[in-house]
Amino acid sequence: MGYSDHRYDVNLSILFTELPLLERPAAAAAAGFTAVELWWPWIETPTPPQAELDALKKALDDAGTQLVGLNFYAGQLPGPDRGALSVPGDESDRFRANIEVAADFAASVGCKALNALYGNRVDGADPQVQDALALENLVLAARAADRVGAILLVETLNKPESPLYPLVSAPAAIDVIDKVNAATGLGNAKFLLDIYHLSMNGEDVARVIDDYAEKTGHVQIADNPGRGAPGTGSLPLEQLLDGLKKAGYEGWVGLEYKAGDRPSAESFDWLPAGARAAR
C-alpha cells in the first residue's frame, strides 16, 4: 500500500485560502481533486442568507466537487474559538440555530458527515454543566444528521494549540461519542481521527488507530511539526494511513494542512495526480 491507496478530500478552509471561498472548489478540481470538506464558512453567523448557501452549492456543483465533510457553526474558527455547543448562553443558542441549517445544506449537496466541535472551557462555567449542555446539543445534532442520512463527528484537538478544549485525547472524544450514541440509539456518532492533533498530544497514533478504527467516521492529516503537507515533518503518515486501511477504515482522508509560503496548488506533490480524484 501507500499514499495512492486512499480516498482524499481537500479542506477548503485551510487550503486555497488565497482565493475567495466560491473560487476554491474550482481550484481544488484544477489540482485534480473531486472531493472537498469545509469548516463552517460563515464564522459570523449560524444562519446565513439562503442566497449565500445557494451560491456555495453552485460553486461546488459547477466545479464537479463533492462536499464530504462540513462543520457545524463553531464560533470564530479560525480564531480563538473551538466550537460553540458546550458554551452556555449565546454560543449554545447559535449552535442550535445552526443545526437544521447545516443539516439541510449538507442534504442539498449530498454531504454525509457533519463535524461538531465541542467548544472551549469558559471561565465561570461549571465543567459538568458544560458537559451536560454539550451532550444535549450533540444529541440534537446527531438526530439532525440522521435525518439527512449523515454521521455526526466528534473531534480530538491538541492541548498545546487548544489549551481550553477538553477533548485532547482519543479516549476523551470516544467517551463523548459513546454517550451520544447511548442517548440517541442511532449509532451515527463517530470519531474524527485527526492524526496531526493526536501526534501533537503525544499519543501513540498507531495504537489509537488499532483501538478505534471501527468507531472512526473521518480522518484528517497534516505532518508534524508544522502542520504542513506530508513529508514536511517527521510523521510516518503513509504507514499510519496503511494501518487505518488494514484496520478496516475505508472512508475519506481530509487534507487539513497548511501550504506554507507556496500556493496551495503546489503543496500536493507528495500525492500522484492520478490518486487525487475520488473513487
Residue by residue, pLDDT tens for the chain (279 residues) are: 789 999 999 999 999 999 999 999 999 999 999 999 999 999 999 999 999 999 999 999 999 999 999 999 999 999 999 999 999 999 999 999 999 999 999 999 999 999 999 999 999 999 999 999 999 999 999 999 999 999 999 999 999 999 999 999 999 999 999 999 999 999 999 999 999 999 999 999 999 999 999 999 999 999 999 999 999 999 999 999 999 999 999 999 999 999 999 999 999 999 999 999 998
- Return d(Cα 65, Cα 26) in angstroms, integer: 8
* pLDDT score recorded for residue 7: 97
Helix (H), strand (E), coil (C) string for 162-212: CCCCCCCCHHHHHHHHHHHHHHHCCCCEEEEEEHHHHHHCCCCHHHHHHHH
Contact between 79 and 114 under an 8 Å Cβ cutoff? The reply is: no
Cα 200 to Cα 115: distance, rounded to the nearest angstrom:
20
Residue 256 annotated as catalytic: yes
Separation CA 256–CA 1 (nearest Å): 22
Residue 140 confidence (pLDDT)? 99
Residue 258 CB coordination number (10 Å):
17
Residue 181 grid cell:
450514541
pLDDT at 45: 98
Residues 127/74/68/235 CA torsion (nearest 10 deg): -70
Q: Could you say which DSSP state residue 55 is in?
A: H
Catalytic residue among 37, 155, 238, 266: 155
Give tens-digit pLDDT for 95-139.
999 999 999 999 999 999 999 999 999 999 999 999 999 999 999
Question: Cβ of 78: how many Cβ atoms within 10 Å?
Answer: 11
Identify whether 23 is a catalytic site residue: no
Strand-pairing partners, residue 36, are: 10, 67
- Cα three-residue angle 178-182-185, rounded to 5 degrees: 125
Cα 133 to Cα 156: distance, rounded to the nearest angstrom: 18
Peptide bond into 272 cis (omega under 30): no
- 64-100 residue pLDDT tens: 999 999 999 999 999 999 999 999 999 999 999 999 9
| pTM check: above 0.95 | yes
CB 75 within 8 A of CB 46: no
At 180 the pLDDT is 99
Q: Which is nearest to 150 in space by CA: 118, 178, 109, 95?
A: 109
